[in-house]
């Protein structure tokens, strides 16, 4: 961990009681970037700054925002901007804080993005269960309209755009960008197949659409104000800027932390005093989820990996949505796996057979095992069912499904079985241990400690 | 009860007008129906079908996909206890069981007096504040059994009505699209936004 | 610029085999065309792919290594390497099948689909051997009726989205939908909103498991007991290709066949389920004659034929051929129609013959105006003017085709109708609500593009808007009878006006009755002879082939009924006709049937009209005879025989031959294939159209009669369609027709005769030296007197048809009969107060002709001042009201 003071790019106003008001936002430098862009920069220049910043998407996939914006086909209008505020991945908690405590930051980011890509309308899709975020955003939008910051001829310029607040109604899958678009069209939130439906080319109403995460867009005011280069000065080679991580579970000081991206390590955020401050009750670490419920688990030996997409990927997992869930030695691995699988089984949209039927089946078997009716053969059966959802159980996953939700249910099971197979057998009444499915290890980088006792 | 009141029809029409296609207003209208009646009635769905020009089956197809739309009456207070991973690790399951005992119902049920409906829900994005729950989608963090008991009492006594509106009411602030709105961008009208022309002017200026 | 190049192709490798695919073609389809079948459940070639079931996963390498991809969503790109049988693919397919089966009940032995179930078949072919699923299966309440005709067993459903996609995308009736989410997803309807669609039966056909079953077929047979024959549906004139399936000499089911030119595999529910009528106990099995006590008594054929022949002979002796008349024949095959035309016109010498019952259009309009095919009307980017009935009610599958064209291919529709149709809402780009009786002036204004004042109830703005949509690009006019209370002449005159003004316009007839177009093509209409020639033009030619010919043009149905009422008809033959139910002027029909000296009916059912006959000869019907039929495009296709007729019922042509024999005449027709051969030989427009042609692959969709085959204009020739290909192919084979195929005649534009539609179909020279006449029927000038507006106390009557009515087929099909609504009077909601009636009131409608009492229904689709009553419904016969003498009928409403 570097000790240098890093700017708080997206969390600057979190400590202010009135950081969500337009007044306080403006007093603390808010909407200056918008004014700068609209009065002194061309849309292309704003886009250039974002490219120079190498801002990676914070929604999970980590795709560079500037590159994504460039995929909108030239000459095809209208274009739309859709803000993904559906934050629902277990362990993930960061977008909601931004929306509740600094809604204008997000709105300013939205306006900058619309300006840069030429979006004629923006839709702010907030998770349905987040009533306070909806209230704060609605108020912020109303105030910003009244101040001439949104709407027709923003700040007296030729830039005009509406931002429509929209919210969901309880469906995790709607966080997937094409499902989000379907939902925004009033449909069931079922993902579209990519290709051919890459939103940048064929998105909302089959028009070019940029979908960005709340945190991603909230970086834009700082980038425009300070320049893309200043942003790129922070962080590591492949992961620039700062990033929010929510550290939850068995830690002394759970919280959402803005840390320098790419240089900070898992050990820093989990054990560092400034951050989560170590495992509670002096217990030992058993495992941790590095990037939300869909990510394969990490263990002790991964603590010194930097929070950097490449390194984490090479080690067989992902940073995903910036959700670190820490499990200490008291954790029941079978139960933890079941909890996560139940989530995916409940949240499957039902479109793809392997996901719809497979996740539900996995959940039933795990529940049966937890209820004491497991059989030793169930363990390999679980893995084979996993293999039918995500062939050869590798990471990043191969899919027999349209979107990665189905394979996401495979991560916790494969993680738990590979590392804690004995716990499964303990539930199942012991028995012979057979080889993992297809004879392949789960992680693309084999764990350094043997999986079986 | 049931179809939209005249006042809500006016709101519904205003909501519909925000979107390039009517059907996009479907989820907001279902929320409006739930706000009106506490749950989504069949009559409301039929009314929504008329307003956006689709069949009632299509409305129900969408409504039934999303968990928040209740198609049967629920308690005045919907208590959603998170039992997903972060909360599970810190006692979410125990909290749920405690509330089950306290309220005398199982998760998924409503107390006979119609006050509370208890649900066992997935992650509600407050993982660092585990174990947590929502009442009518208002958060309560780090809820110990004692705090849960207090909460139930306070709710019963109506002490929290300023914080927790009745079920169905989500945002108490409605977005208004004022005079200076830019207007919808219909998908079938291919016009380049005015300000993008600045790019060309700039390039010309450069050369 | 030339655009003659073939569509671009790409080369891909599938299982080591190099195959060509069209650019953009889906991998699953390209592979199938080359004999490599990739298993699938959700994919259906006539619907948008959704990639849901994941059964069609195959390994595809586009340069970045092999990966599993759904072949139903993947477009072929050059160089793609595909394997469909490798271990990874196999494992994925097995996995998907296992997943589908874990919640699928094991009730195959009692499931209708058992034995023809893709899930069963694919489990055998690709599935895992044993079940590893020990948890509890999903349970739903046993079959729920999603409509009156279709049951849904949700436990069996594998959520392929076929039925729901069909309902939304194809039928436009999104009444069934996915509900809930994830593993609890199910297909269902909204409470109390059933899947009331005219097309619901298609979902049963495309369901890949037995989740959707048809009430009329449920538990009736096992697939392996079924025999089948391919045929053409004759429930209306669209002529959907179907297979007729039977078991133990009973027809049990029809299934749509994917005919690219016609129905794309779809059928309407009426066509699909009216097979019940074939098996009806009410079918006539034996001849009947009226005894002295004036009741109809069963008798022998010998007796019945003798009596019929005696009556005919006496009639001829008394008043010559003019005293003999035939009404009907639209239900017959082409071959039987020819036999009856030859008997009537060529042996007896009477021209009083009409297959239409006053509810159609002048034959000259149907045959004389240049014809369009369904594909012409639906061609991407074109425009259609609807000057006819509500297609969904009368020609349901044409509605589906046109709907697809509008929704997917940018076809624009201008609708001219006096009341709203199913195209009005969402499909028609412009609607002209004209007042009945004013079609011609509205069309004139439309062609002019403008009007100073309101025309026939249409505002100048509406005219201008519609004219704007009409543009001057390719135009097809769908022309038919929307309103039985409006004179057909005004429609014909309007159509002719368009023809004279818009070069290149084509007309698609919307006459709905089964084989009415075959009847017209074969001369079952006054003034015509078989093969699209007039009596006058064909006189010399037919003089060579038939013993006699009528001296002059005879009477149409209305004329025949009038003559009969006046005592001038000695023998009236009802050839599958029920004028009391179907003729617009019921009062005239009653007087006509009463006034004819002897009525001979050839029919399958004892209809109201048949009950008035003196001799009743039972006819064999659909699925009981073989032959051909002609659809509204003029497309000739086969009908197949699968079962034997009830009792001693005979094919209609046999009846004609027997009668001829008893009259001492020789029809010279001994079998259907001989008749077909004679039609091909003598009927000019049918030259080259042999049964042999229809049995070839190129003739599979049928062959269009008399379409232009040879043009100087290259584009037009390409347009001529697959039927001509088939015919040319046949012509090339033998000597017959060779000349026709090579004649390079340019199109000759003759405004008066409009015969160009049949150009080029000149048949071979005859040894006699008399050349066959040119095909084509002149379009006469119809004079039309536009009626004055109704007075302030009256409403103008519109009588339109519903799909389910009291017609014989529906009434005799128990599953459908229930679906026919009772008669009502539909009025504009704003007219109620003015008329002093309330919604639901029983009111008496009175016209100069009669009155009926029916309840009222408010209907915003009915303009003010219009009274809409549907034809032939229980509780009030609309044709009691219609004044056939007048161009329109005005009625008054009062509380009884
Ligand atoms: C199952 C699933 C759930 C997702 N949920 C979210 C979410 O809640 N919030 C989010 O921003 N992105 C989510 N994503 C990622 C989005 O699809 C998309 O990549 C992202 O919104 C793009 O924004 P970004 O480029 O700014 O990260 C999800 C993806 C999947 C496959
Ligand atoms: S993988 Fe699951 S969630 Fe994703 S589209 Fe398929 S069924 Fe839906
Ligand atoms: S046939 Fe391709 S996914 Fe179903």
Asked if C632 contacts C645 with a C-beta cutoff of 8 angstroms, the reply is: no
CATH architecture of A235-328: Roll (3.10)
Q: What is residue A138's predicted lDDT score, i.e. its pLDDT? A: 98
Distance from CA of B48 to the nearest CA of C (A): 13
Q: CA Rg, chain A, in Å?
A: 22
Ligand 3 geometric centre to CA of C410 (Å): 28
Residue ranges of the alpha helices (H) in B26-105? 26-37, 42-52, 56-63, 85-89, 92-103
Helix (H) or strand (E) holding C294: none
Residue C622 tokens read as 């659909």
Task: Give the pairing of strands C9-14 and A119-126.
Answer: unpaired
> pLDDT by residue (tens digit) across C516-565?
999 999 999 999 999 999 999 999 999 999 999 999 999 999 999 999 99
Q: What is residue C733's predicted lDDT score, i.e. its pLDDT? A: 40
Please name which of A291, A308, A304 lies closest in space to residue A54, comparing C-alpha atoms. A308
Q: Assess if residue B113 is contained within a domain.
A: yes
Does the pLDDT at position B1 exceed 70? no
Does the pLDDT at position B86 exceed 60? yes
Q: What is residue C735's predicted lDDT score, i.e. its pLDDT? A: 35
Ligand 3 geometric centre to CA of A112 (Å): 41
Q: Count other C-beta atoms under 10 Å from residue C136's C-beta.
A: 8
Number of the ligand 1 atom closest to the C-alpha atom of A403: 31
Is B68 close to A145, i.e. CB distance below 8 A? no
Is A348 close to C96, i.e. CB distance below 8 A? no
Of the candidate ranges A95-109, B143-157, C289-303, C345-359, the one whose mean pLDDT is the lowest? C289-303
Nearest to B65 among C176, C181, C191 (CB): C181
| Residue percentage of chain C with pLDDT more than 70 | 92
Using a 6 Å cutoff on CB, does residue A177 contact ligand 1? yes
Please tell me the total count of domains within chain B: 2
Number of the ligand 1 atom closest to the C-alpha atom of A216: 26
Separation CA A56–CA A54 (nearest Å): 6
Query: What is the edge-to-edge ordering of all strands in the sheet holding B77-82?
Result: B116-121, B77-82, B133-135, B138-140
Per residue in C15-36, is it b (16+ CB within 10 Å) or e — as a string? eeeebebbeebbbbbbbbebeb
Q: Are residues B16 and B61 in the same domain?
A: yes
Number of the ligand 3 atom closest to the C-alpha atom of C72: 2
Separation CA B28–CA B13 (nearest Å): 11
Is A169 close to B30, i.e. CB distance below 8 A? yes
Q: Considering only CA atoms, which residue is closest to atom 19 of ligand 1?
A: A61
Residue C287 tokens read as 């001849």
- Alpha-carbon dihedral C567, C568, C570, C571, rounded to 10 degrees: -100
Separation CA C335–CA C657 (nearest Å): 12
Q: What is residue A440's predicted lDDT score, i.e. its pLDDT? A: 30
Q: Are residues B98 and B138 in the same domain?
A: yes
Structural domain including B95 reads 77-156
Angle at Cα C226 formed by Cα C220 and Cα C231, nearest 5°? 110
Ligand 1 geometric centre to CA of A321 (Å): 8
Q: What is residue C219's predicted lDDT score, i.e. its pLDDT? A: 77
- C chain contacts of residue A354, beta-carbon cutoff 8 Å: 54, 95-96, 99
DSSP state, C423?
Answer: T
Separation CA C421–CA C431 (nearest Å): 10
Mean pLDDT of the C134-162 span: 92
CATH 1.25.40.10, applies to A333-428: no
Number of the ligand 2 atom closest to the C-alpha atom of A351: 7
Q: How far is CA A179 from the centre of its chain?
A: 15
Q: Are residues B150 and B133 in the same domain?
A: yes
Using a 6 Å cutoff on CB, does residue C70 contact ligand 3? yes
Using a 6 Å cutoff on CB, does residue C56 contact ligand 3? yes
Q: What is residue C139's predicted lDDT score, i.e. its pLDDT? A: 87
Q: Where are the domains of chain A?
A: 22-232, 235-328, 333-428
Nearest residue of C to residue A345, measured between CA atoms: C182
Ligand 2 geometric centre to CA of A177 (Å): 12
Does the pLDDT at position C570 exceed 70? yes
Is A169 close to B125, i.e. CB distance below 8 A? no
> pLDDT by residue (tens digit) across A77-89?
999 999 999 999 9
Distance from CA of B142 to the nearest CA of A (A): 11
What SS3 string covers C162-212? Answer: HHHHHHHHHCCCCCEEEECCHHHCEEEEECCECCCCCCCHHHHHHCCCCCE
For chain C, give the mean pLDDT.
91
* DSSP per residue, A285-308: EEEEESSSTTSPPB-GGGTTSBS-
CATH number at residue B134: 3.40.30.10
Judging by beta carbons within 10 Å of its beta carbon (0-12, 13-18, 19+), is residue A439 exposed, middle or buried?
A: exposed
Does the pLDDT at position C713 exceed 70? no
Question: Given pLDDT bands bounded at 50, 70 and 90, which one contains residue B147?
Answer: very high
Region for C615 from its dihedrals, namely left if φ exceeds 0, alpha if ψ lies in -120 to 50, beta otherwise: beta
Which residues is B124 bridged to in the sheet? Answer: none
Pocket probe mutation, ligand 3, options C37, C39, C48, C53, max atoms within 8 Å of Cβ? C53
Q: Are residues B58 and B122 in the same domain?
A: no
Q: What is residue C135's predicted lDDT score, i.e. its pLDDT? A: 87
Please tell me chain A's helix, strand, coil percentages from 3-state DSSP, rounded to the nearest 5. 45, 15, 40
Q: Count other C-beta atoms under 10 Å from residue B200's C-beta.
A: 12
Q: Assess if residue B86 is contained within a domain.
A: yes
Q: Does B67 touch chain A (CB under 8 A)?
A: yes
Asked if B125 contacts A96 with a C-beta cutoff of 8 angstroms, the reply is: yes
- C chain contacts of residue A366, beta-carbon cutoff 8 Å: none
Chain B 121-180, residues with CB within 8 Å of chain A CB atoms = 122-130, 134, 136-139, 170-178, 180
Residue from B14, B55, B89 to probe the interface with A (highest A Cβ count within 10 Å): B89
Q: Does B1 touch chain A (CB under 8 A)?
A: no
Chains near C with 3+ CB pairs less than 8 A apart are A, B
What residues contact residue A282 under an 8 Å CB cut-off, 6+ apart? none
Does the pLDDT at position C5 exceed 90? no
Separation CA C173–CA C757 (nearest Å): 37
| Residue percentage of chain B with pLDDT more than 90 | 95
Please name which of A85, A401, A96, A442 lies closest in space to residue A299, comparing C-alpha atoms. A442
Separation CA C264–CA C734 (nearest Å): 32
Judging by beta carbons within 10 Å of its beta carbon (0-12, 13-18, 19+), is residue C851 exposed, middle or buried?
A: middle
> pLDDT by residue (tens digit) across C429-444?
999 999 999 999 999 9
Q: How far is CA C854 from the centre of its chain?
A: 30
Local confidence pLDDT in tens for the 453 residues of chain A: 556 788 999 999 999 999 999 999 999 999 999 999 999 999 999 999 999 999 999 999 999 999 999 999 999 999 999 999 999 999 999 999 999 999 999 999 999 999 999 999 999 999 999 999 999 999 999 999 999 999 999 999 999 999 999 999 999 999 999 999 999 999 999 999 988 889 999 999 999 999 999 999 999 999 999 999 999 999 998 899 999 999 999 999 999 999 999 999 999 999 999 999 999 999 999 999 999 999 999 999 999 999 999 999 999 999 999 999 999 999 999 999 999 999 999 999 999 999 999 999 999 999 999 988 999 999 999 999 999 999 989 888 999 999 999 999 999 999 999 999 989 998 987 644 443 333 233 333 222 222 222
Asked if C618 contacts C286 with a C-beta cutoff of 8 angstroms, the reply is: yes
- B chain contacts of residue C181, beta-carbon cutoff 8 Å: 64-66
Distance from CA of A187 to the nearest CA of B (A): 6
Please name which of A203, A128, A135 lies closest in space to residue A171, comparing C-alpha atoms. A128
Q: Does A360 touch chain C (CB under 8 A)?
A: yes
Q: What is residue C655's predicted lDDT score, i.e. its pLDDT? A: 98
Ligand 3 geometric centre to CA of C41 (Å): 6
Residue ranges of the alpha helices (H) in C627-775? 652-662, 672-682, 691-694, 714-719, 722-733, 738-742
- Alpha-carbon dihedral B152, B153, B158, B160, rounded to 10 degrees: -60
Residue C872 tokens read as 């032939």
DSSP state, C822?
Answer: B
Does the pLDDT at position B140 exceed 50? yes
* DSSP per residue, C624-644: TS-EEEE-TT-EEEEE---SP
Q: Are residues B107 and B67 in the same domain?
A: no
Q: What is residue B204's predicted lDDT score, i.e. its pLDDT? A: 57
Q: Which sign, positive or negative, has the C-alpha torsion B5, B9, B15, B16?
A: positive
Nearest to C174 among B42, B46, B55 (CB): B55
Mean pLDDT of the C311-334 span: 97
Is B175 close to A335, i.e. CB distance below 8 A? no
Q: What is residue A79's predicted lDDT score, i.e. its pLDDT? A: 98
Separation CA A345–CA A367 (nearest Å): 12
Peptide bond into A396 cis (omega under 30): yes
Q: Are residues B36 and B91 in the same domain?
A: no
For chain B, give the mean pLDDT.
95
Question: Given pLDDT bands bounded at 50, 70 and 90, which one contains residue B149?
Answer: very high
Residue A52 tokens read as 């120079």
Please name which of C439, C437, C440, C414 lies closest in space to residue C427, comparing C-alpha atoms. C414
Mean pLDDT of the B57-84 span: 97
Q: Which SS3 state, helix, strand or coil, does residue B172 take?
A: coil
Question: Is the whole model's pTM more than 0.90, yes or no?
Answer: yes
CATH number at residue B11: 1.10.10.1590
Separation CA A178–CA A172 (nearest Å): 13
Asked if C892 contacts C794 with a C-beta cutoff of 8 angstroms, the reply is: yes
Of the candidate ranges A246-250, C135-139, C297-301, C510-514, the one whose mean pLDDT is the lowest? C135-139
Chain B 18-47, residues with CB within 8 Å of chain A CB atoms = 18-21, 23-28, 30-31
φ and ψ at C662, to 5 degrees?
Answer: -70, -25
Asked if C446 contacts C546 with a C-beta cutoff of 8 angstroms, the reply is: no
* DSSP per residue, C489-525: HHHHHHHHHHHHHSTT-EEEE---STTHHHHHHTT-S
Per residue in B130-157, is it b (16+ CB within 10 Å) or e — as a string? bbbbbbbbebbeebeeeebeebbeebee
Separation CA A419–CA A316 (nearest Å): 14
- A chain contacts of residue B24, beta-carbon cutoff 8 Å: 166, 184-186
φ and ψ at A302, to 5 degrees?
Answer: -100, 0
Distance from CA of B103 to the nearest CA of A (A): 23
> pLDDT by residue (tens digit) across C100-118?
999 898 888 888 888 888 8
- C chain contacts of residue A349, beta-carbon cutoff 8 Å: 181-182
Asked if C727 contacts C635 with a C-beta cutoff of 8 angstroms, the reply is: no
Ligand 1 geometric centre to CA of A152 (Å): 30
Distance from CA of C857 to the nearest CA of B (A): 20
Is A78 close to B191, i.e. CB distance below 8 A? yes
Judging by beta carbons within 10 Å of its beta carbon (0-12, 13-18, 19+), is residue B66 exposed, middle or buried?
A: buried
> pLDDT by residue (tens digit) across C864-895?
999 999 999 999 899 999 998 899 999 999 99
Q: Are residues B67 and B82 in the same domain?
A: no
Is B129 close to A164, i.e. CB distance below 8 A? no
Asked if A102 contacts A28 with a C-beta cutoff of 8 angstroms, the reply is: no
Ligand 3 geometric centre to CA of C51 (Å): 4
ipTM: 0.94
Question: Given pLDDT bands bounded at 50, 70 and 90, which one contains residue C706?
Answer: confident
Separation CA B83–CA B123 (nearest Å): 7
Q: What is residue C508's predicted lDDT score, i.e. its pLDDT? A: 98
- C chain contacts of residue A387, beta-carbon cutoff 8 Å: 91, 95
* DSSP per residue, A170-201: S-GGGGSHHHHHHHHTTS---PPPTTT--TTT
Judging by beta carbons within 10 Å of its beta carbon (0-12, 13-18, 19+), is residue A313 exposed, middle or buried?
A: middle
Nearest residue of B to residue A336, measured between CA atoms: B85
Q: Which sign, positive or negative, has the C-alpha torsion A172, A173, A178, A181?
A: negative
CATH architecture of A22-232: 3-Layer(aba) Sandwich (3.40)
């Amino acid at each position: 961990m570097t000790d240098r003071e890093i700017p708080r790019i997206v969390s600057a106003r979190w400590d202010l009681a009135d950081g969500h008001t337009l007044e306080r936002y403006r007093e603390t430098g808010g909407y200056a970037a918008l004014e700068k862009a609209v009065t002194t920069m061309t849309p292309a220049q704003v886009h250039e700054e974002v490219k120079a910043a190498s801002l990676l998407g914070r929604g999970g996939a980590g795709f560079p925002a500037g590159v994504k914006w460039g995929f909108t086909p030239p000459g095809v209008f209208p274009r739309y901007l859709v803000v993904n505020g559906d934050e629902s991945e277990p362990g993930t908690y960061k977008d909601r804080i931004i929306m509740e405590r600094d809604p204008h930051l997000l709105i300013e980011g939205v306006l900058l993005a619309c300006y840069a890509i030429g979006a004629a309308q923006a839709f702010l899709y907030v998770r349905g269960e987040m009533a306070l975020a909806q209230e704060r955003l609605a108020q912020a939008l109303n105030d910003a309209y009244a101040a001439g910051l949104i709407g027709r001829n923003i700040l007296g310029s030729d830039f005009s755009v509406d931002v429509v607040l929209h919210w969901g109604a309880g469906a995790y899958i709607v966080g997937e960008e094409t499902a989000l678009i379907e939902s925004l069209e009033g449909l069931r939130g079922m993902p579209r197949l990519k290709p051919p439906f890459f939103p940048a080319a064929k998105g909302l109403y089959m028009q070019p659409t940029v979908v960005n995460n709340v945190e991603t867009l909230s970086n834009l005011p700082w980038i425009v104000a300070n320049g893309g280069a200043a942003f790129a000065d922070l962080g590591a080679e492949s992961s620039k800027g700062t990033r929010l991580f929510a550290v939850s579970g068995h830690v002394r000081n759970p919280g959402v932390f803005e840390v320098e991206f790419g240089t900070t390590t898992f050990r820093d955020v989990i054990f560092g005093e400034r951050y989560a401050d170590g495992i509670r009750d002096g217990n030992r670490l058993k495992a941790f989820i590095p990037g939300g419920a869909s990510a394969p688990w990490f263990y002790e030996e991964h603590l010194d990996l930097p929070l950097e997409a490449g390194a984490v990927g090479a080690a067989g997992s992902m940073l995903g949505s910036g959700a670190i869930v820490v499990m200490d030695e008291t954790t029941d691995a079978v139960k933890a796996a079941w909890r996560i699988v139940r989530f995916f089984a409940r949240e499957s949209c039902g479109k793809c057979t392997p996901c719809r039927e497979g996740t539900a089946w996995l959940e039933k078997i795990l529940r049966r095992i937890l209820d004491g009716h497991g059989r030793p053969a169930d363990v390999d059966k679980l893995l084979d069912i996993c293999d039918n959802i995500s062939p050869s159980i590798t990471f990043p996953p191969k899919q027999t499904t349209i979107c990665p939700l189905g394979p996401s249910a495979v991560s916790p099971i494969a993680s738990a079985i590979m590392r804690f197979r004995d716990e499964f057998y303990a539930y199942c009444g012991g028995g012979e241990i057979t080889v993992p499915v297809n004879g392949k290890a789960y992680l693309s980088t084999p764990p350094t400690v043997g999986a079986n006792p | 009860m049931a179809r939209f009141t005249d006042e809500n029809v006016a709101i519904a029409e205003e909501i519909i007008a925000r979107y390039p296609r009517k059907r996009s207003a479907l989820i907001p209208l279902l929320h409006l129906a739930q706000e009106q009646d506490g749950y989504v009635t069949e009559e409301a769905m039929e009314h929504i079908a008329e307003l956006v020009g689709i069949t009632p089956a299509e409305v129900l197809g969408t409504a039934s996909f999303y968990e928040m739309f209740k198609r049967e009456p629920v308690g005045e207070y919907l208590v959603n206890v998170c039992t997903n991973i972060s909360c599970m690790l810190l006692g979410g399951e125990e909290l749920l069981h405690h509330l089950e005992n306290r309220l005398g119902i199982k998760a998924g049920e409503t107390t006979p007096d119609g006050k509370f409906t208890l649900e066992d829900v997935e992650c509600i994005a407050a993982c660092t504040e585990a174990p947590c729950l929502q009442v009518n989608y208002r958060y309560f963090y780090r809820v110990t059994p004692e705090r849960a008991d207090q909460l139930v009492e306070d709710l019963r006594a109506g002490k929290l009505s300023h914080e927790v509106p009745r079920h169905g009411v989500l945002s108490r602030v409605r977005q208004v699209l004022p005079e200076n709105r830019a207007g919808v961008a219909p998908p079938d009208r291919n016009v380049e936004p005015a300000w993008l022309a600045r790019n060309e002017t700039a390039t010309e200026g450069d050369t | 610029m030339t655009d003659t190049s073939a569509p671009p192709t790409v080369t891909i490798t599938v299982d080591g085999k190099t195959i060509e695919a069209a650019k953009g073609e889906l991998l699953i389809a390209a592979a199938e065309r080359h004999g490599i079948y990739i298993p699938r459940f959700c994919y259906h070639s006539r619907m948008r792919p959704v990639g849901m079931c994941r059964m069609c996963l195959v390994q595809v390498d586009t340069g970045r290594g092999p990966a599993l991809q759904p072949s139903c969503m993947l477009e072929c790109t050059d160089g793609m390497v595909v394997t469909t049988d490798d271990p990874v693919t196999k494992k994925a397919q097995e996995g998907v099948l296992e997943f589908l089966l874990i919640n699928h009940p094991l009730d195959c032995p009692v499931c209708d689909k058992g034995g023809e179930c893709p899930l069963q078949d694919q489990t055998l072919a690709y599935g895992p051997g044993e079940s590893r699923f020990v948890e509890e299966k999903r349970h739903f309440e046993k079959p729920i009726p999603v409509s009156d005709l279709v049951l849904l067993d949700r436990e069996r459903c594998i959520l392929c989205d076929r039925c729901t996609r069909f309902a939304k995308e194809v039928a436009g009736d999104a009444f069934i939908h996915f509900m809930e989410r994830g593993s609890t997803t199910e297909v269902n309807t909204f409470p109390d909103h059933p899947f009331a669609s005219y097309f619901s039966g298609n979902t049963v056909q495309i369901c890949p498991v037995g989740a959707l079953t048809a009430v009329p077929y449920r538990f009736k047979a096992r697939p392996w007991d079924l025999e089948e024959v391919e045929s053409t549906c004759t429930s209306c004139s669209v002529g959907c290709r179907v297979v007729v399936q039977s078991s133990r000499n009973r027809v049990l089911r029809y299934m749509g066949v994917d005919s690219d030119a016609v129905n794309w595999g779809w059928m309407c529910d009426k066509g699909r389920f009216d097979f019940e009528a074939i098996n009806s106990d009410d079918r006539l099995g034996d001849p009947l004659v009226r005894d002295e006590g004036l009741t109809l008594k069963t008798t022998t054929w010998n007796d019945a034929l003798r009596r019929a022949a005696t009556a005919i002979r006496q009639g001829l002796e008394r008043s010559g051929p003019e005293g003999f008349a035939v009404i009907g024949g639209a239900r017959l095959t082409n071959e039987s129609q020819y036999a009856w035309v030859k008997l009537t016109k060529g042996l007896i010498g009477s021209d009083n013959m009409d297959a239409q019952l006053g509810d159609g259009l002048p034959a000259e309009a149907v045959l004389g105006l240049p014809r369009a095919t369904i594909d012409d009307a639906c061609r991407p980017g074109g425009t259609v003017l609807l000057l006819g009935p509500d297609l969904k009610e009368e020609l349901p599958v044409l509605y589906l085709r046109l709907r697809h064209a509008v929704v997917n291919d940018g076809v624009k529709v201008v609708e001219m109708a006096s009341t709203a149709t199913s195209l009005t809402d969402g499909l028609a780009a412009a609607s002209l609500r004209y007042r009945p009786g004013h079609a011609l002036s509205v069309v004139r204004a439309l062609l002019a593009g403008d009007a100073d004042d309101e025309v026939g109830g249409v505002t100048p703005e509406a005219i201008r808007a519609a004219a704007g949509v009409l543009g001057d690009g390719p135009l097809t006019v769908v022309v038919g009878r929307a309103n039985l209370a409006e004179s057909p002449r005004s429609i014909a005159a309007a159509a002719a006006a368009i023809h004279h003004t818009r070069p290149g316009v084509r007309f698609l007839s919307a006459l709905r009755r089964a084989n009415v177009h075959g009847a017209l093509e074969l001369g079952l209409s006054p003034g015509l002879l078989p093969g699209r020639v007039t009596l006058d033009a064909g006189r010399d030619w037919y003089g060579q082939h038939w013993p006699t010919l009528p001296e002059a043009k005879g009477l149409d149905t209305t004329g025949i009924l009038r003559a009969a009422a006046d005592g001038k008809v000695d023998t009236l033959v009802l050839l599958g006709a029920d004028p009391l139910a179907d003729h617009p002027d019921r009062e005239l029909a009653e007087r006509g049937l009463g006034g004819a000296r002897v009525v001979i009916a050839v029919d399958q059912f004892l209809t109201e009209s048949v009950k008035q006959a003196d001799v009743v000869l039972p006819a064999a019907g659909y699925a009981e005879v073989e032959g051909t039929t002609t659809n509204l495009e003029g497309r000739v296709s086969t009908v197949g025989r699968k079962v034997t007729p009830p009792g001693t019922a005979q094919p209609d042509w046999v009846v004609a031959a027997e009668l001829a024999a008893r009259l001492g005449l020789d029809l010279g027709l001994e079998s259907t294939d001989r008749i077909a051969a004679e039609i091909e030989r003598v009927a000019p427009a049918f030259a080259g159209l042999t049964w042999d042609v229809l049995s070839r692959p190129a003739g599979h969709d049928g062959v269009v009669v008399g379409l232009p085959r040879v043009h100087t204009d290259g584009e037009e020739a390409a347009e001529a369609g697959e039927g001509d290909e088939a015919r040319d192919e046949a012509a090339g084979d033998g000597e017959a027709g060779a000349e026709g195929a090579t004649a390079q005649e340019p199109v000759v534009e003759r405004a008066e005769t409009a015969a160009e539609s049949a150009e080029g179909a000149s048949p071979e020279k005859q040894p006699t030296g008399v050349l066959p006449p040119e095909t084509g029927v002149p379009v006469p000038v119809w004079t039309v007197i536009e009626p004055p507006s109704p007075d302030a106390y009256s409403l103008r009557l519109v009588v339109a048809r519903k799909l389910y009515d009291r017609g014989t087929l529906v009434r005799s099909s128990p599953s459908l009969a229930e679906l026919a609504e009772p008669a009502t009077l539909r009025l504009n909601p704003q007219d109620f107060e003015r008329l002093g009636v309330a919604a639901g009131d029983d009111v008496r409608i009175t016209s100069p002709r009669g009155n009926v009492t029916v309840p009222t229904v408010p209907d915003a689709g009915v303009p003010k001042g219009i009274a809409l009553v549907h034809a032939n419904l229980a509780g009030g016969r609309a044709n009691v009201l219609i004044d056939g003498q007048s161009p329109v009928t005005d009625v008054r409403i009062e509380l009884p």
